Amino acid sequence: MVDVSQHTLVPEHTVLDEETVEDVLAEYDVERTDLPKITRRDPALPDGAEVGDVVKIVRDSRTTDRAIVYRLVVE
């Protein structure tokens, strides 16, 4: 079986620890539920990602070199 998360076109996904999540939420002045969602069954998620976790996704960008987005894992 192919591990989709290791494909070269899939951006880096990292589950954030709770302290980092609080810092991100404070920086953007949002609540956890305001974040865009990603389903727990998404094959790009790292192993161990659970509902309620916040995932940092780092994508290549033509305009800013790197684009960082955050997603809330939902069922």
Q: Domain with 15 in it: what CATH number? A: 3.90.940.20
pLDDT tens across the length of the chain (75 residues): 666 666 677 788 899 999 999 999 999 999 999 999 999 999 889 888 999 999 999 998 888 889 999 999 999
pTM, 2 dp: 0.85
What's the length of the chain? 75
State the DSSP string of 21-47: HHHHHHHHT--GGGSPEEETT-TTSPT
Number of domains in the chain: 1
Neighbours of 39 (CB within 10 A): 11
Rounded to a whole number of angstroms, the distance between the first and last alpha carbons of the chain is 23
Structural domain boundaries, residue 23: 4-74
